[in-house]
Structure 1
Amino acid sequence: MAEQTIMGVRRFGRVNWLGTWTLAHREIRRFMNVWSQTVMAPLINAGLFLMIFTIAIGPQRGDVMGVPFMTFLAPGILTMTVIQNAFANTSSSLASAKVQGNIVDTLMPPLSGAELVVGYISGAVARGFLVAVVIAAGAALFLDVGMRNPFWVVTFVLLGSILMGGLGMIAGIFANKFDQLAAISNFLVTPLAFLSGTFYSIDALPGFLQTLSHVNPFFYVIDGVRYGMIGVSDSSPWVGLGVVGLACAVVVGICWRWMDRGYRLKS
């Protein structure tokens, strides 16, 4: 069939599959080129967290929700590391392109706003899953923490990576300097990750803080992965699926709108 030139239909089709794949492949290669920082460093950090808690608390800490404390802790550290790396992947990519002045190389190709979002978030998802696999393997080897329900683990790692990849895009688009990006990470992402049930059950919190935790999507990501790995959680994974799914839709929608308009990218 001859190529169509009807107005509104691009010559390569309604979806630029090759361009989207190329962008996603670039984002994956970007973090794999520094695998010692993007893969090994998160594994070492997770191991240090577990070692410090083991030394500091040890057997003195009782069970949490019916499981040993270190078993309870492993899924939280895994998820915290995943969401931090997914956020870092998209935020650093966009911020670096803006600061170095080569963001035009991404905006010039015939890619729609939606295709740009898919390409960038695909890199965040790939990095999130790679980190999750590495840390899960370490947890299984050294802590004997397996997978009670792999479906929920995969689902919440995927949704958490999409959510944080989208938030990373928003941060990267908004920030004009690395200092601004660091401020968003230090004062928003890290506190929310640490205070979302990573190291404790939210049942230990006062009522007001429990209420705040239940409106925090980070909490549901961590809780969902914990349910999939060890079979215990503070809330229903189905509730978490709805909350995190809605949060992903809102964040990805904002990313699409901003990328489609070139907000803070073309000026």
Structure 2
Amino acid sequence: MKDVADHSQPRPRQMGAVNWLGLWTLYMREVRRFMKVHFQTIFAPVVTTLLFLAVFALALGRAVQQVGGVSFMEFLAPGLIMMAMVQNAFANTSSSLIISKVQGNIVDVLMPPLSPAEQTIGFAMGGVSRGVVVGVAVAISMSIFVELHLHNAFFILYHGIMASLMLSLLGMIGGIWADKFDHMAAVTNFIITPLSFLSGTFYSIERLPDGFHAFALANPFFYMIDGFRYGFIGHADGYPLTGVVVVGVVNLLLAGVAYWMFRAGYKLKA
């Protein structure tokens, strides 16, 4: 009878080297967060990006005929697509973490048997998914007004995914660091937005003075936009393969910082 009673007791679940169920659950939680309010998280960025396209077309469409061997609108379109992708990837992870911290339910993520690596991957992939979904939606909508060409699919896919990952990781780091929404707004206004706008999104850096040209080359955002644009139009202001390396190295560094924050419980555990 004693053996029967012992066998009836619940046993702890064996997770193995990776808690695939927990990782998938965290990832789907992040995906469902933005899919549930898709008018705000997907359709709104499409409308905003098309408005940017319309403004630049009306303001500069006739004054600037060609950039990089293609029409100005063809040059501009990949930069606008990339800008929408990275802004939404950043917003997904940063909002998820700061809201959880402010509302006090961050414990729901910290208590389950998820390792720091699994937590980092789960949040990051949620941000990447939102960035890619927004990018595809913007590209489809923009193709109605601008003829988009496919020069190199590898550079489009690589820089699209890696750029979304970069901003997703930055959003995680900012969300963990921030104590309130004002802190998060400061990161967006003084770091993310300037780096995005000064990275060659709307112009070719070849036209910049020497000092600003050097600053652009030191901006990692430039390489993800330049490589992404190269995949469409076949023209790059920098060296495409250099951009592949820079974006990859920056992502490794950011992933290491995010992993350390989860492992140390930095501003997550009281």
TM class by smaller structure: over 0.9
Query: What per-residue deviation string (whole Å, max 9, x for no partner) do you get for residues 80-120 of structure 1?
Result: 11111111000000000000000000000000000000000
Which residue does the alignment assign to 1:73? 76
Deviation at 1:148?
A: 1.6
The one of 177, 202, 207 equivalent to 2:205 is 202
Measured in 2, the distance between the counterparts of 1:70 and 1:12 equals 51
Name the SS for the 1:136 alignment partner.
helix
Measured in 2, the distance between the counterparts of 1:214 and 1:246 equals 15
Query: What per-residue deviation string (whole Å, max 9, x for no partner) do you get for residues 186-229 of structure 1?
Result: 11101100000001111111111111111211000100110011
The one of 116, 133, 136 equivalent to 1:133 is 136
Q: Quick one: which amino acid aligns to residue 225 of structure 1?
A: F
Name the SS for the 1:92 alignment partner.
helix
1:40 aligns with 2:43: yes
Q: Which runs of 4+ in 1 moved over 4 A?
A: none
Larger radius of gyration: 2
TM-score (norm 2): 0.94
Query: What per-residue deviation string (whole Å, max 9, x for no partner) do you get for residues 45-96 of structure 1?
Result: 1100010111112322221111111110000111111111111000000000
Which residue does the alignment assign to 2:124? 121
1:218 aligns with 2:221: yes
Gaps of 5+ in 2: 1-12
Measured in 2, the distance between the counterparts of 1:141 and 1:229 equals 16
Q: Quick one: which amino acid aligns to residue 238 of structure 2?
A: S
Q: Quick one: which amino acid aligns to residue 79 of structure 2?
A: G
Name the SS for the 2:70 alignment partner.
coil
Measured in 2, the distance between the counterparts of 1:215 and 1:15 equals 37
Q: Quick one: which amino acid aligns to residue 136 of structure 1?
A: A
Q: Quick one: which amino acid aligns to residue 233 of structure 2?
A: I
Measured in 2, the distance between the counterparts of 1:70 and 1:169 equals 33
Measured in 2, the distance between the counterparts of 1:29 and 1:151 equals 28
Measured in 1, the distance between the counterparts of 2:176 and 2:15 equals 28
Kindly tell me the number of residue pairs found equivalent between the two proteins: 258
Name the SS for the 2:66 alignment partner.
coil
Measured in 1, the distance between the counterparts of 2:62 and 2:208 equals 23
Q: Quick one: which amino acid aligns to residue 217 of structure 1?
A: P
TM-score (norm 1): 0.95
Measured in 2, the distance between the counterparts of 1:144 and 1:70 equals 9
The one of 176, 189, 192 equivalent to 2:192 is 189
Percent identity (aligned): 50
Which residue does the alignment assign to 2:174? 171
- The 3 A distance-change label for structure 1 pair 118 and 169 is same
Which residue does the alignment assign to 1:4? none
